[in-house]
Each structure stands twice: as C-alpha cells, then as structure tokens.
Amino acid sequence: AINLKAGNKTLPMPILGYGTWQANDAELEAAVDAALTAGYRHIDTAHVYENEKVIGNVLKKWFDAGKLKREDIFLVTKLPPGGLTANGVPKYLKRSLDFLQLDYVDLYLVHTPFAFKDIEGNLHPFTADGKIDLDMTTDHIAVWKAMEEQVDKGLTKSIGLSNFNLKQITRVLENSRIKPSSLQIELHAYHQQHELVEFCKKNNIVVTAYSPLGNPGLVTFFPKFGKQIEVPNILKNSTVVEIAEKHKKTSAQVLLRHIVQKDICVIPKSTNAQRLKENLDIFNFKLDQNDVAALNALDRGYRLLDFKIFNGIDDHPEYPFPELK
C-alpha cells in the first residue's frame, strides 16, 4: 500500500487496483467478483463509466455475506465532466454513492479539467453540429472548494485530480485548504510522464497510472466514436518481451512492475479472470537496474488519450494539453 495524504491524516491505498473503464455490465459483475476473489482491494471506477451500480451490487453481496467489511475496500470514483461546478460536486458524489450503495468513497477525483454542460440523462452531450457541448465557465478553485466540503461531510476520505496538467495542479495546490492527495493520469512505458511524476513526488501527491498496459482495448473503443487511431501494442515490444522471458513473467507483469517499483499506483483493467489474476501477481519478483533502464528508454511521450473523441474539446479553456491544440 501507498500512503495518501488526507488532510492531516494518512490513508493507505493499495498500490495495485482493479480498473473498470471499458468493462461492460454483462461481463463486469462476474469480473468484479473474480477480482475480489483474486485479492484486489482497490477498485477504480467513475460516474461516466456507468458501471457504479454493478460494482455496488457485487460489493453489497460480499458485505452481506460477511466476506468483506467496508473498510477492507479502497473505492475510487470520479466527478463527471458534466458536474464540474460548485453545485455539481455534491450532486454527483451523492449519485455515485447511491449507485455504489456506500456511505463514503475513499477517494473522489475530479475526472477531467474541462467541463461539459450538465444535461440530465446525458453524460456526453453533443450539439446538433456534432461537437461536444462544453461548459466554458469552469472555475477549478470553486470546484475544489466543493470537493473539500465533501471531505468535511465524511462523504469521501480523500480528494484528488485526474487528467490535470502541471499548471492546473499548481493552481489548485496554491488555492486549497485540503491538498490534492493524488493524481490519476495516463502512464505507461511509452508515456512515462517524468516531469509530472517528479512534480507530484515533491508535493506529496500520489500518482496513479491509467492504461498501464497501453490499453490495447482502445482498438475497439475509438471506432465507437467514429475515430480510428493506431494503438501500439506495448505488450509485444521486444524489450518488454525479453525482460519478461528473463524473469519468467508475462509482458503485462513486467509493465506493471516497472511502474509499481517507482511507487506509482497502477489500475490495469481486465475482465478476464485469468488475466486479472496475472496482473496481481507482480510482488514476487524485482526488475534490476538494467531492466529498469531499458524500460525507461522506451518512453516516447506517446499519448493514447487526447480526448479528441469529443469533437471540439480543445476549444475549452481548460483543455489540458495545449501542445496538442
């Protein structure tokens, strides 16, 4: 586990969590059950994944059966882009808690720095001309103040950010009573985010890596939004494969271990019982200096997720990747 700063307390968060983005309802119930059986105790979801109800049902089953206590689980969920206002924060956290059937979450993240219009029943609103319907009035400081109030009310143990850039995080840090405890970002061998990781270390912000395997599932995800992108298969990279053979581990295990050895949390997603077990089995080997150097050298600043599946997203004043505008 890794310690999060939650106000003046510390909160242990298991360094390896179960990621649930892109898992559909039909397969997810069995998968969450398999994940808990395998030993996952940190679950990462978000309101926009639309799977909080399924996760809540499985957790309730485990609680009711006495197999698990609430405090055994570290549950992370996120404020949707349509809720990025002072009023949106309590509204959407309450909705997430209702769906999850929980009294509190362990970590509530602001999912994105940009915001959509808050349109009931439509988490991804598009205008008639096919553009994402942006809320241009976003005020991170006002949103963060509302996030802090959720900690005061005991509805979340800690609060953090996701997909924010260095400048945006700095502004929140400088204008907050309760500092962001963690930052969740895309991070994998092809996009190691050294600058942001260094910055977070200095500021006691725990980093969580999403898409730690390079998210091979995006191959089928982007076409749903009418976008075609090339998704490089990091699992097949020859350096990764060689290191895996040397340790008698899989590529996935090497990629996850590489990140965890830097004290960065990982939340690989798998709905396959075999693979989700495989991803958990990374605490019985260690990458040596040479392995780490070779893996570090794979970094090429390759961002998979630029959010441009939302047409017009870079018009938002808080679009986090100005270099991609």
Q: 117 vs 262, which CB is nearer to ligand A2P?
A: 262
Assess 268 for contact with ligand A2P (CB under 6 A).
yes
Instruction: Please report, as a single letter, which amino acid is at residue 223.
Output: P
Query: Is 47 marked as binding a ligand?
Result: no
Q: Is 271 one of the binding residues for ligand A2P (CB under 6 A)?
A: yes
Residue 28: partners with Cβ closer than 8 Å, 6 or more residues away: 20, 51, 54, 55, 271
- Please tell me whether residue 232 binds ligand A2P under the rule CB under 6 A: no
Amino acid letter, residue 126: F
Binding of ligand A2P by 82 (CB under 6 A): no
Counting contacts by CB under 6 A, is residue 244 touching ligand A2P? no
Q: How far is the CB of 273 from ligand A2P (least distance, A)?
A: 9
**Nearest distance from residue 208's CB to ligand A2P, in Å?**
12
Q: Which is nearer to ligand A2P, 41 or 91 (CB)?
A: 41
| Distances, alpha carbon 291 to alpha carbons 65, 243, 251, 262, 297, in Å | 44, 7, 13, 13, 10
The Cα–Cα gap between 116 and 312 comes to 11
Q: At closest approach, how far in Å is the CB of 253 from ligand A2P?
A: 7
Q: How many residues bind ligand A2P (CB under 6 A)?
A: 19
Q: Which of 40, 49, 108, 190 is catalytic?
A: 49
Residue nearest to ligand A2P (CB): 217
**Least separation, in Å, of the C-beta of 288 and ligand A2P?**
22
Q: Does 38 bind ligand A2P (CB under 6 A)?
A: no
How crowded is residue 130: how many other Cβ atoms within 10 Å of its Cβ? Answer: 9
Q: 313 by DSSP, 3-state: which?
A: helix
Would you call 49 a catalytic residue per the annotation? yes
Please list every residue from 206 through 225 that binds ligand A2P, using CB under 6 A: 211-217
Q: Cα–Cα distance between 323 and 27 in angstroms, integer?
A: 37
Helices (H), 248-288: 251-260, 273-280
Beta bridge pairs of residue 5 = 10
Out of 269, 295, 313, 316, point to the residue binding ligand A2P (CB under 6 A). 269
Q: Which two tokens stand for residue 157?
A: 């143990």
Could you say which of 43, 59, 172, 252 contacts ligand A2P (CB under 6 A)? 252
Burial 34-66 (b: 16+ CB within 10 A, else e): bbbebebbbbbbbbbbebbebbbbbbeebbeee
Out of 109, 279, 298, 307, the only residue in the binding site for ligand A2P (CB under 6 A) is: 279
45 binds ligand A2P (CB under 6 A): no
- 173 contact partners, CB below 8 Å, separation of at least 6: 179, 180, 203
Alpha-carbon distances, residue 158 vs 35, 221, 266 (angstroms): 23, 31, 18
Which one of the spans 48-56, 174-182, 269-277, 290-298 is the region binding ligand A2P (CB under 6 A)? 269-277
Q: Does 278 bind ligand A2P (CB under 6 A)?
A: yes
Single residue of 51, 85, 181, 270 touching ligand A2P by CB under 6 A: 270
Which active-site residues does the annotation give? 49
Query: Annotated binding residues, as ranges?
Result: 111
Residues that bind ligand A2P (CB under 6 A): 19, 211-217, 235, 250, 252, 268-272, 275, 278-279
